[in-house]
Amino acid sequence: MTKEQRLKKRHSAERRFRLYGIASICVALLFVLILVNNIFSKGSSAFMKTVIDVEVFYDPELIEIENGASEENIREADFYDITIETLLKSYPTKNLDEENELIDLFTTDAEIEIKKAFLENNNLIGKKINLEITSSDDIDQLHKGNYPRDLPEDRRRISNFQLKIYDTLVENNKINKNFNNYYFNNGDSRDPELAGIGGALVGSFYSIIICLLLAFPVAILASIYLEEFAPKNKITDFIEININNLAAVPSIVYGLLALQILLATIQLPRSTPLVAGITLALMTLPRIIIPCRASLKAVPPSIREGALAVGASKFQSVFHHVVPLSLPGTLSGTIIGLAQALGETAPLILIGMVAFVVDIPSTPIDPSSSLPVQVYLWSESAERGFVEKTSATIMMLLSFLIVMNFIAVYLRQKFEKRWN
Amino acid sequence: MNFVLIFLIVIFSSSLFFYGKSKTKSISIQRNIKLNALPKFYGYYLVLWSSIPALVFLLVWSLFEPVIIKSIIIETAANQGAIFNDKNEANLIYEKIKAIHLGTYFGDIDTILKESAISYSKFLNIFTNSKIVLIFVTIIASVIFSLKKIRNNNKAREDVEKILKGLLFVSSLIAILTTLGIIFSLLFESIKFFSVINIFDYLFGTNWSPQRAFVSDASAITTAEYEELKDAFGFVPLIAGTSFIAFIAMFVAVPIGLFSGIYMAEYASSRVRKISKPIIEILAGIPTVVYGFFAALTVGPFFRQIGESIGLTVSSESALAAGLIMGIMIIPYISSLSDDVINSVPQSLRDGSYAVGATKSETIKQVVIPAALPGIIGSVLLAVSRAIGETMIVVMAAGLAANLTINPLESTTTITTQIVMILVGDQEFDSPKTQSAFALGLTLFVATLILNYIAQRAVKKYREKYD
């Protein structure tokens, strides 16, 4: 091999090596793209729901209440007969089977929706109004184009008769898409069209607030101690080793800790945001202490010495000068720690947040779910409608995380002083 | 109740701030002396002394009250003739008594339970009253003590700082308490588990199927039953599955992470670096449940389809799908850390290599990477510990049955998956099945601890070398 050939070979090796680097960065970026695209394309349709236009006649013979009845009376009244009557009128049927199939096109909460319309205007007895009733999950998915029509009938969840009704309804412009209020207001449900993330949102909110209240003060006090006051001795070393190790302990171990100490020993109520918040606080504590210490360390010694020189005590120099200067870094570290806590699932599963909770929690000691746990729960469900709901919940979760991280970056860039 | 108490204590002690401030001012005027600190520090001094002892007392009391009441109630119930054979039944009776007291129990109530419920509410009353009285006494005592100090014109600022420093120290001790909590809660149940199952049978057993482990009476297990049990709790398939999935993950993550780290540290312009680094780090910020969902609903079925089209049977919960996605999750851990490590290799080493005519890639391969190797190995080990502790991806995308296999297209299970599967839903405490989850947790904890220790040592050693 001549000199030129060798050089050429070496140079092409150089180019190849460089290419590997570019390729692997591209693979990582591509994956981010695929993931986000996949989630968004599946989930964005969940923010709309399919509604069917029907005509409701509040037949005085079928309701036991009169115009102007009090709210309590209406709530107790039975609207079942009217509901069935209304739904059956929307398409001609021949026998009981067909009637059942027709009723199955609507949500199981149709009665509540008809009652709600009456609650808003209680002078409707004997009158007819047009109402948009939420469709069942199957029709919803069919209308959004997520459901294949061309399967043979026995492998479809929708019968030929139901398809025929659907087509007629579409032809008559009776099927529309509305904003999906159930998705944001409702708790969990076995019916995909009624399931919502209201409960999970509230649960996550409580958990994160409790986590913040517990973890932030302790973390900042601990990092001030370790960075500013701790003498160099065995105890301090031991505390430091402990913090570093705790930051790397798998999150599920914190779940076991919570199960044994918080639930079995102290007997706090299961499945509640309170327990979740404490567990997450224990988990995020070391993850907040590490950036807090770094930002305290970044404040130059001249600041401390200046304060001491004009007669401040050690405490005053730290709390009047060092801590305020480190605040942008500490806060952004805390927010990033909280963002991790918000997406944490495994420990919450162990403390029983996987329980099926329909009600929206009103206090932190009510059973509840949380956003990531809701993702896990729905992803295990077989119904097609839940796939869309899960993706939408992931979208919500990711957008919260993006906002939190954005605030953290902004705080740091806007307020942090550069010391050199 | 406790919240009201805390609220009252806080209100009372913060009002003392103003009292302390004005009191010392008037003392200094009356006696015509110079105070040893600013008046507000006397206020702080009073606040701290009046609140902290009372709050600590309340905390300790609330931790022990339920335990003490429970043991008293169970004892009185036993004296009255309630029959229970073991701890579980005693707990059940205690819960019943509590429910009767709260009026939420709708079963049959016999006289023993009724009597116990009455004595329960009696004890509860006694405890609550004595709690309030004792807190009151604590506050009075500490206020009298601190007022006396203030009258003597103590050095209030230094005293306040001493107390606050104690508070700072206690906050940093929470990390130690958490570690102790983890160790004790894991050890406690694990010891119970290992008292039933021999630790060697656990470590070297090749069959894991805890759902078969039915024990009629955990305190007296016959030899035949033990043979059966031993067969249900073999750790080998779990560690095999865990390492296998972690291996697939590292197979994906190490090359991609390392090459992106190298490219960013050595080749990329600052603009490319500024954009691509945060985007890659997004991968570390995405919650793992999202990866799990993606692996289970998109990647798993996708591999299955591909397999079908080329005539392979691929399980839809294949180790390949879980491992691949886990690998992608881990990329940023490796790329960021190795980027840092490579950046801290001194420029003089590179310059020396260029001076003898090496190309850039030759310099990287033969000089920079060998120099950075301990740090890179450390970052890979950290990533491995992350992979074996990862839960949601494997819970959602890997299988549940413990297969001993090295075929990536089959499903296998992991330690974390089994912990979740055992502890989700109704658990009976004191059954070897539940305890086995804690034994698994202990194993996982120890394994990640060792990996982290080695990794941190490696990174630290390396940093010291070039500082």
Residue A420 domain-assigned? no
Output the CA–CA distances (angstroms, integers) from residue A276 to A249, A282, A358, A361, B143, in the order listed.
Answer: 17, 10, 18, 14, 37
Proportion of chain B above pLDDT 90, given as a percent: 32
Residue A138 domain-assigned? yes
Can you list the domains of chain B with their CATH numbers?
2-154 (no CATH), 236-466 (1.10.3720.10)
How high is the pLDDT of residue B290? 94
Q: What confidence tens digit (pLDDT) does each residue in B161-201 have? A: 999 999 999 999 998 999 999 999 999 989 988 888 888 88
Which segment of A231-235, B402-406, B436-440 scores lowest on mean pLDDT?
B402-406
Residue A188 domain-assigned? no
> What is d(CA B75, CA B90) in angstroms, rounded to the nearest whole number?
10
Q: pLDDT at residue B220 above 80?
A: no
SS3 per-residue string spanning B230-272: HHHECCHHHHHHHHHHHHHHHHHHHHHHHHHHHHHHHHCCHHH
| Residues 132-171, chain B, touching A (beta carbon < 8 A) | 157-158, 161, 164-165, 167-169, 171
Nearest CA in chain A to B389: A250
Residue A189 domain-assigned? no
Q: pLDDT at residue B226 above 90?
A: no
| Range of the structural domain that residue A59 is part of | 51-178
On whether both A163 and A264 belong to a single domain, the answer is no
- Cβ–Cβ below 8 Å for B267 and A39: no
Nearest to B411 by CA among B335, B350, B320: B320
**Chain B: closest CA distance from residue A35 (Å):** 7
On whether both A247 and A108 belong to a single domain, the answer is no
**B392: part of which helix (H) or strand (E)?**
helix B392-397
β-strand partners of A54: A131
On whether both A286 and A377 belong to a single domain, the answer is yes
Domain boundary among A118, A144, A178: A178
Domain boundary among A133, A148, A178: A178
**Interval B432-440 mean pLDDT:** 88
Instruction: Compare CB distances from B389 to A23, A250, A372 and report the shortest one's residue.
Output: A250
On whether both A164 and A209 belong to a single domain, the answer is no
Instruction: Compare CB distances from A261 to B181, B335, B391 and report the shortest one's residue.
Output: B181
Residue A82 domain-assigned? yes
> What is d(CA B210, CA B191) in angstroms, rounded to the nearest whole number?
17
Q: What confidence tens digit (pLDDT) does each residue in B160-172 have? A: 899 999 999 999 9
**Chain A: closest CA distance from residue B233 (Å):** 19
Q: In terms of DSSP bridges, do strands A175-179 and A48-57 run parallel, antiparallel, or are they unpaired?
A: antiparallel
> What is d(CA A172, CA A169) in angstroms, rounded to the nearest whole number?
5
- Cβ–Cβ below 8 Å for A225 and B182: no
Q: Can you point out the beta strands (E) in B280-410?
A: none
Measured between CB atoms, does B188 come within 8 Å of chain A?
Answer: yes
**Interval B359-369 mean pLDDT:** 92
Residue A377 domain-assigned? yes
> What is d(CA B39, CA B207) in angstroms, rounded to the nearest whole number?
72
How high is the pLDDT of residue A79? 83
Long-range contacts of range B119-122, CB-CB < 8 Å, 24 or more positions apart?
B119/B73, B119/B76, B120/B69, B120/B73
Which segment of A290-294, B324-328, B426-430 scores lowest on mean pLDDT?
B426-430
Q: In terms of DSSP bridges, do strands A175-179 and A128-134 run parallel, antiparallel, or are they unpaired?
A: unpaired
Domain boundary among A122, A148, A178: A178
How high is the pLDDT of residue B217? 57
**Interval B240-263 mean pLDDT:** 94
On whether both A105 and A153 belong to a single domain, the answer is yes
Q: Domains in chain A: how many in total?
A: 2
Residues of A in contact with B392 (CB under 8 A): 345-346, 372, 376
On whether both A274 and A138 belong to a single domain, the answer is no
Residue A23 domain-assigned? no
On whether both A209 and A358 belong to a single domain, the answer is yes
On whether both A170 and A203 belong to a single domain, the answer is no
On whether both A204 and A341 belong to a single domain, the answer is yes
Sheet with A48-57, strands from edge to edge, namely A128-134, A48-57, A175-179
SS3 for B52? helix
* Residue numbers in chain A where pLDDT is lower than 50: none
Contacts of A154 (CB under 8 A, 6+ apart): none
Q: pLDDT at residue B113 above 90?
A: no
Nearest CA in chain A to B394: A346
Q: What are phi and psi of A179, to 5 degrees?
A: -65, 135
> What is d(CA A236, CA A233) in angstroms, rounded to the nearest whole number?
6
> What is d(CA A203, CA A210) in angstroms, rounded to the nearest whole number?
11
Please answer whether residues B335 and B262 qualify as being in contact, where contact means their C-beta atoms are separated by less than 8 angstroms.
no
- Cβ–Cβ below 8 Å for B359 and A14: yes
Q: What confidence tens digit (pLDDT) does each residue in B25-40 have? A: 888 888 888 888 888 8
Residue A40 domain-assigned? no
**A178: part of which helix (H) or strand (E)?**
strand A175-179
pTM recorded for the entire structure: 0.89
How high is the pLDDT of residue B202? 86
What CATH code is carried by the domain that includes residue A228?
1.10.3720.10
On whether both A133 and A266 belong to a single domain, the answer is no
> What is d(CA B233, CA B438) in angstroms, rounded to the nearest whole number?
13
On whether both A233 and A174 belong to a single domain, the answer is no
Mean pLDDT for chain B overall: 86
User: What is the ipTM metric for this complex?
Assistant: 0.91
How high is the pLDDT of residue B289? 94
Residues of A in contact with B63 (CB under 8 A): 266
Q: What confidence tens digit (pLDDT) does each residue in B444-455 have? A: 999 999 998 888
Q: pLDDT at residue B235 above 70?
A: yes
On whether both A282 and A173 belong to a single domain, the answer is no
Output the CA–CA distances (angstroms, integers) from residue A158 to A153, B1, B63, B414, in the order listed.
Answer: 7, 56, 57, 39
